[in-house]
Amino acid sequence: MKIDLFDRSTVPVLEKQLDAFALRNKAISSNIANIGTPNYKRLDVSFEQQLSDAISNASDPVDLSDKVSEVEPRIEIDPAGSGGSNNIDIDHEMAELAKNQLQFGLVSRLIAGTFQSIDKSINGDTQ
């Protein structure tokens, strides 16, 4: 059994989150672009519950990496939604876009911090 350095870190979880945020950004962009399209159904990304289940079912860090690697964010049609003839509410979409961008930025900084810590461990802290 191969144990990778990153299997014992939060990197696999953070990578999956970045994938989900990028996919959600595409879904939101599609929703905004189709605001005037009759009978268009809003798109959303299914991910958070799958990730939560994978994390809670993991028995150790390596198992966590395996379970998280099986989680794939996917675009789904939102049957509920709000709005007029096509269930898109521009205010809701813009709020979701802003939230998604903030979350993407936070996770990006967390990954960068993880790699900086690894770099300091390998090369020594020069400060």
Mean pLDDT, rounded, for 47-64: 82
pLDDT of residue 28: 97
Give the pLDDT score at 3: 45
Residue 72 token pair: 């794939």
pTM metric for this prediction: 0.79
Tokens of 71: 């989680």
Of 102, 117, 123, give the one whose Cα is nearest residue 11. 117
Q: Contact 32/93 with Cβ under 8 angstroms?
A: yes
